[in-house]
Structure 1
């Protein structure tokens, strides 16, 4: 226990209440904070009047039975157990009238209790209470913030005390009740203690940091302790962000109906694809919370996030990021490294070729491998001659064959004695004169980036490197919204290729690296799909927001849907996009009931007269109803349902976590 009892403030009471909130284990994707689990299977529905009528009937029956027993109309046989169990002096009053009354009234109470229990079970009184009385009860739960309970109370940091760090636990408890600590502080310090348990940090260093800085200990490199402008509820104990409520409809499984729906690093870590129109009721309701969640996790030391989109996209305020790269803006505080911080010429050539010609990877004449060979023939000799990789304009001049550039490079290589590099340069000169040389394609793609508006945005040395994702960093890259239509697409290819290379070769894979690509048409290429398929093993993921799958090549749509673990279809989806989503979600076995009415034919005169009388009273001929139940395989969601029946502000979402657990597609209301 703490050595002193700190004064609890109102804010501290709210923080302790949040920290002590129950978070029961639930199905994948359910918001755990305060969740009340439901039955695994839906109970057989009973009409309300029948349920209430049965409860009242069994109550009256129990009262009638007790009245008949008490008045002796059913005999005195029910008093035989009393004669057998109680002493004769108690039963016959020889021990006094007081004990006689206690004996008989106690036995009466026992019989009444048996009748009430039997009537309650037969009349389903508990179901009546749950359906009608329980929802109307309002329980006042005063906050008992001033009382710190021992044992497993999370506010007392029991895992620190059990490990012998009682002094650090006392300091953190004092900061918690004094409203100095926030949810990000709690998550960050918990993550730091996890690093201690893993052997990456000594307990002495942790304790010194906590005693010195309290709730601010083990801080993020930026010094930020919270994310400004949060737009969604976050629970950093269960690492979740709430996005909406599952609709209480038969389209959703029983366990999910009316439950709060959330995303977490475990589900986003399998990559997320959002398809549908943009706006406050579309993809923005998914992308913004996910970007926030990854930013909060980065502040807690658990993730690194890179958000790519236009400046008009709603990705949070600039203060929510450590690095902001505004491509095409001369006032941008950072530029983007053209090679992603790669210094090896061969590796830089492979990444740059994938970025520039990823959409042509299916073309054997201009695929990424052929273009990578062209770049290797230039980057290697240039690095050997100048000790660095070429700038954007220098590389374009080498590919264009600008007079004087290749001879000058040859003279420098000859002077330095780089014979092997001379052979690469000679091969480039020979191939450049052949028809269909890939160098011209590369030069055309680089010409899109070699513009005055982007002159200060791409740097061959310096600038921001995506290899920085091996530490908890928050990055926002804004694409130019005007100019050539292909410029944002090529820049997005460049960022995606650098991210895929960075997460594959990073040394620190304890952090979840997340790349958010919001509304960049034509981003998905063959190398991109192959890279997304490998991200899960590298503890990395992507969040792709597409307005329509028409932006993806037809041959890549099915592989893309199969590569991601989480899929979202928003309201306003086209029928074609709905067909691809419906195919990805597949079919399920469901129970159907077929009801047929068969007219009854009487064989006797009395029967025919009875049927005529019944028809005159009811207005319909007498029929016999037959019900056929069968199991059929149907689509979980059809293309027509996705395109035409999704209400505004709703999405259909399916998720897979990193452990392999899946959820069926759920209809979720993002407005509540």
Structure 2
């Protein structure tokens, strides 16, 4: 058994996921990473075992679970240390003074009255000195205990003990965890042993102790084991593969077992990547303050939109860690990822991806399938129309995407029927221009190949050409942006290149698409819309949705369209998600800003946001009930001569008139984050982030330090 079935590329038009031509040179076991996630490097596999056995308690959405220590829901009432210690000392001294007065009889005999009234006369008048001593010393102990209890309660000695005593020492030092039993030790693979695969469990445990296993291996083999439990794969084949290859069993199609270099902190056991630290700020819920902030498929499955100016950290603090995380998840057979950004944006080395499409670069090994790998002319027309005129649908009613889809379908259907393929960019441009030569040649080919029934499509197209508001002219102008010398070798449909189709996202493939920017800004926006449209169409049509599919789109300005918003809404049910970054919400048409923020479950506002962008976030985050305290100082007016003298003395000593303070507590409804706070109160390197999981759990807007 070489894979778990989700890793083998099927024979698709886009070609299979690339595999290495020969096995890696050198040892069968690649070296361990120099910095294992979350633990310092140690010899003999101890670093991996420590990472594997680390606690990962259940936590609220977005909390970095690796080594997390839960905090209470509400902040406990804390007393300043100086006040606490002084109060404890004063209560002790007062108690000691009272006890001294009682013991030495300075308070008279009134404090013995309870004993004299309650005790029988026979006890008090006994001639036995021992009995009398026992009686009185018992009474002294009772009185002393009551006095000690009062001192303990009034002086808050319990809080002093918790804050400065041994409990605080134990919290400062991490507790020693007892060694786990074999049935509880994840390094012993108890789930395999319970199923009878003892040989496979022994081999994996030996590789873990010897330092031959890493987090990606553990996640990848765990994914393969899920396939065995679900009945997709054979237990005997899985066991034979693991016994033979150990930690290298069930490989990714590329043969890679790790990324060239990691920049972020990852925990593949929970699928999280750490992107920052929740600030210790009163506006954050107490249980989140100081905790690590992490993202994973359970959050990205609701999609995320991040807005912030250039230099705010969208690429370096968000897209790059997420791209690295999704690539690791793909190596573990859990995810498929498509990363789209400008060439040179720093989205990871080419070695971290299976497919790198460098549009406009002559050395690109892969091409992008303009029609998304489909053979249906109507589907291809819908995807291409969204890419070409999707951004013009609202401002220009004549460029409605449905009419554009109809025009493209009138040409793509007959052309494919004749040639067995879709037209290239120059051929499609010629047909859309309405030149008599291409249309006459297509009409003649339909007659010669026996597809005369499709003539009515061309007849309808020729009739529409005569109308002044024909949408074909808009489509021709847009497709002309891709008919440039820089793109001459791209979007080929004759089979001479290696086109990649997003239909391959039912495999754990890692794809990076580099968009051309210099001199081709409009073409880049068309291609970004094309990738987004193909992604939403492909992942929602997958039969096997066990792999999480993720699209990371760096700089989505001019990409958000009505159909794109509807597509993002459908991703959640397809086990997929999209991450979009914007410099400003002004890059999104005004009617689509609210629907875009409503369609995404995770929203991020980075520092430097404009007030009008902050207003949109403030509206979508809504309001909450908070408790406010209004303090009023009222001057006290003395009416008697003695009172006036006292007030005059206080004014001389303090320099202020005597006042009485009145405190009013009210419940008021206020915005969680106002537009002004988002624009001016978010420090540099920080962001305000709200989260929603695919199960519907929510996290309120959190102030996050993206540098932590």
Give the alignment's TM-score, normalised by structure 1.
0.90
**Which among 240, 250, 264 is matched to residue 208 of structure 1?**
240
Describe the superposition over 1:154-196 as per-residue Cα deviations: whole angstroms up to 9, x where unpaired: 1111122122222211111111111111011111111111122
Change (3 A) 1:230 1:599: same
Describe the superposition over 1:430-467 as per-residue Cα deviations: whole angstroms up to 9, x where unpaired: 11122111111111111000111011222335500011
Aligned with 2:46: secondary structure?
helix
**Which among 413, 424, 441 is matched to residue 408 of structure 1?**
441
Give distance in 2, aligned partners of 1:357 and 1:261.
39
Gaps of 5+ in 2: 1-40, 120-128, 132-136
- The alpha carbon displacement at 1:227 in A equals 2.0
- The alpha carbon displacement at 1:575 in A equals 1.6
How much is the aligned-residue C-alpha RMSD, in angstroms?
3.1
Give distance in 2, aligned partners of 1:178 and 1:113.
60
Give distance in 2, aligned partners of 1:457 and 1:130.
69
1:375 correspondence with 2:425: no
Partner of 1:127: 159
Partner of 1:519: 555
Partner of 1:20: 53
1:325 correspondence with 2:357: yes
Contact 2:540–2:574 under 8 Å retained in 1 = yes
1:257 correspondence with 2:293: no
Partner of 1:3: none
Aligned with 2:540: secondary structure?
helix
Partner of 2:487: 454
**Which among 465, 471, 477 is matched to residue 444 of structure 1?**
477
- The alpha carbon displacement at 1:41 in A equals 1.2
**Which among 624, 632, 636 is matched to residue 588 of structure 1?**
624
Partner of 2:681: 645
Change (3 A) 1:62 1:291: farther
Describe the superposition over 1:383-438 as per-residue Cα deviations: whole angstroms up to 9, x where unpaired: 11111111111111111123421112112211222232111111111111221111
Partner of 2:566: 530
Give distance in 1, aligned partners of 2:153 and 2:220.
51
**Which among 274, 277, 284 is matched to residue 306 of structure 2?**
274
Partner of 1:484: 520
Describe the superposition over 1:595-629 as per-residue Cα deviations: whole angstroms up to 9, x where unpaired: 11111111222211221121121111111110011
Describe the superposition over 1:246-280 as per-residue Cα deviations: whole angstroms up to 9, x where unpaired: 11111111111111111111011100101002337
**Which among 630, 639, 643 is matched to residue 607 of structure 1?**
643
Change (3 A) 1:483 1:56: same
1:316 correspondence with 2:348: yes
**Which among 618, 623, 637 is matched to residue 659 of structure 2?**
623
Contact 1:361–1:527 under 8 Å retained in 2 = no
Aligned with 1:653: secondary structure?
strand
Give distance in 2, aligned partners of 1:459 and 1:499.
20
Contact 2:609–2:678 under 8 Å retained in 1 = yes
Change (3 A) 1:298 1:613: same
Q: Please show how residues 292-441 of structure 1 align to structure 2 within 5 Å.
A: 292-362=324-394, 363-441=396-474
Partner of 2:509: 473
Give distance in 2, aligned partners of 1:163 and 1:65.
71
Give distance in 2, aligned partners of 1:154 and 1:66.
59
Q: Comparing 600-609 with 247-256, which one deviates more in the overlay?
A: 600-609
Change (3 A) 1:327 1:377: same
Change (3 A) 1:481 1:213: same
Contact 1:275–1:283 under 8 Å retained in 2 = no
**Which among 53, 62, 67 is matched to residue 86 of structure 2?**
53
1:235 correspondence with 2:267: yes
Change (3 A) 1:614 1:114: closer
Give distance in 2, aligned partners of 1:184 and 1:110.
66
Change (3 A) 1:372 1:221: same
Q: Comparing 128-137 with 189-198, which one deviates more in the overlay?
A: 128-137
- The alpha carbon displacement at 1:593 in A equals 0.7
Aligned with 1:384: secondary structure?
helix
Partner of 2:255: 223
Contact 2:326–2:337 under 8 Å retained in 1 = yes
- The alpha carbon displacement at 1:587 in A equals 1.1
- The alpha carbon displacement at 1:132 in A equals 4.9
Contact 1:242–1:262 under 8 Å retained in 2 = yes
Change (3 A) 1:365 1:478: same
**Which among 518, 523, 542 is matched to residue 506 of structure 1?**
542
Aligned with 1:664: secondary structure?
strand
Contact 2:302–2:694 under 8 Å retained in 1 = yes
Partner of 2:213: 181
Change (3 A) 1:75 1:600: closer
Contact 2:358–2:513 under 8 Å retained in 1 = yes
Give distance in 1, aligned partners of 2:472 and 2:482.
16
Contact 2:312–2:684 under 8 Å retained in 1 = no
- The alpha carbon displacement at 1:48 in A equals 2.3
- The alpha carbon displacement at 1:521 in A equals 2.0
- The alpha carbon displacement at 1:523 in A equals 0.9
Aligned with 1:611: secondary structure?
helix
Contact 2:312–2:606 under 8 Å retained in 1 = no
- The alpha carbon displacement at 1:494 in A equals 0.9
Gaps of 5+ in 1: 1-7, 82-90, 94-104
- The alpha carbon displacement at 1:144 in A equals 8.9
- The alpha carbon displacement at 1:55 in A equals 3.0
Aligned with 1:663: secondary structure?
strand
Give distance in 2, aligned partners of 1:453 and 1:605.
97
Give distance in 2, aligned partners of 1:434 and 1:670.
55
Aligned with 1:341: secondary structure?
coil
Partner of 1:567: 603
- The alpha carbon displacement at 1:49 in A equals 2.1
Aligned with 2:661: secondary structure?
strand
Describe the superposition over 1:497-555 as per-residue Cα deviations: whole angstroms up to 9, x where unpaired: 11111112111111111111101421111111111111111111110011111111111
Give distance in 2, aligned partners of 1:9 and 1:108.
61
Change (3 A) 1:537 1:116: farther
Give distance in 2, aligned partners of 1:419 and 1:109.
113
Give distance in 2, aligned partners of 1:490 and 1:258.
42
Contact 1:233–1:241 under 8 Å retained in 2 = yes
